[in-house]
Structure 1
Amino acid sequence: MLTQERSDDDVRLVAGAVRDLARRTHFPVAFGGLFSDGSVSVTSVVGSRTRSLDGLSVRPERGLGGRAMVELRPRMTRDYRSAQHITHDYDGHILGEGITTLLAVPVVVDGRARGVLYGGAWASQGVGDVVAAPAFQVADALAAELRVREEVRRRVAKLAPAPLASARLSAPLREELRESYAELRQVASGIVDPALRRRLEVIERRLAAISGDSGIVRDTAAAGRSAGDVSLSPREIDVLACVALGATNAEIAGSLGLREGTVKAYLSSAMGKLDAATRHAAVTKARRSGLLP
């Protein structure tokens, strides 16, 4: 089990997943949290009738959620009080809320449990595919978002501290900067969380401040990007950043989660705005305009 640092953004992400689980399943109670400092601390609860779930912290192998974490698969009991296949470390929390049926779904990222989502009911009830499938989907979506966030953090940490904007970069460093910029945009392309998106824009501005000979600092507002009379959309910038690394349209489509025809449309639009006859000329003009590092 890997210890992870839990950020405020992650706590908000879990809260959204718990609300989604409650909305998409028939469970009247939903709760969950992420793994940090050796246990999963429940940070979000929806639908409870008491405050018994407050402060619940689940360790690996303990309770239904701890077993789900270790086995990396969902676990369920229709009669929590008499369940013999789990430890009863957390009876004060679960039975205090009056929960009888309990489903625990681990949030698995790269083969490790990063958290647990729970669905509970005050009466014994069967949990068929109609109920379980949406719970699994919510956990998978949460895992995917955590995976993207962790990759972004890893790449951001790799880039810090940024070189001074006034320093003239050598050719190898400039290419490394451009590659890191393109990779960052690829990873961030699927992020919808506004707070995390703003943090990424700050990083992009740092990269722009050391953008080679021009030293132009660009505006990276999510609504679009402009320099002089040229204005490119975020997706057009994404595509050009990949083109700058020599990626084909098919490769760009795969990395950004787009159709190849959509990539061609974005590229054609960017070329038209930049008055560029070829994709490579578009990259050159974008760099001269301060739209790419």
Structure 2
Amino acid sequence: MPKGKGAKGTKVTLKIAKKAIRMTLDGRRRLTLSNMGITVFPKCLLKLTNVDELDLSRNLIQKLPDNIGNISSLRWLDLHSNKLESVPESIGNLVELAHLNLSNNRLTSAGLPSALGFLNSLKSLNLGMNQLDTLPSTMVALDSLQELGLFDNLFNNLPEFLNVLRDLTKVNMKRNPVSYAQGDGEGMLKAKSEPEEDEYLIHESSLCRTCLKRCKEQRERLTRGGGEGGNMFKEKRIRTYTGLTVPNSVATVNQDVWRIRKV
């Protein structure tokens, strides 16, 4: 565990980072520095040229280095739940990147670079829970994109180029002010007049003892169909996840909330 946590947050050195690298089950080198109180992006990470996956989620990072594109080996990058307001153009150099999570930050449309369109290997992009109302038009070049999260933003219109992306099969546009119109085979949905209640996943280790107990009790009631409204719950049972408790935060993307487009 990194030392030196103080007014400037946790300090991560190159030595600490190298020791924290672990091999995944599929043989990739993964560096996890999540939920550590990091306030400044550790520039020493730019010297790591053989890391495949980097997790800096749930920290307090406000800015990414201009040369973040130097970590060219990255295939998976998780920066959700930080304080990012923009993304540097150099991110377009991460041409091997297949999964990018920027959800639950402070991103505005002006802070999204046109270079996002250079990520030709990108399969999953999560931009949910930000302050976006448009996307860079260059994203029309993301031919490999399969999943896109835009939930909890400020979109008044569905980005038109989404219909051009042939591999795009899952789009989450929930809780935006967008007005959907029934399209001809375009997979658009009619807006609901009432907000829909959704559930998010968070690992049990991130909950206090009281919240964990409360969530487990609620999950048991819903699963068994007990308590008030038991007959209703018998018809709609929740799905359980190993090591995960619902509902709560956005620590992990719940794939069940993706809206599947009709093609």
Scaled by the length of structure 2, the TM-score of the pair is 0.25
Larger relative contact order (C-alpha < 8 A, sep ≥ 6)? 1
* Structure with more of its chain in helix, by fraction: 1
Scaled by the length of structure 1, the TM-score of the pair is 0.23
Select the structure of larger CA radius of gyration: 1
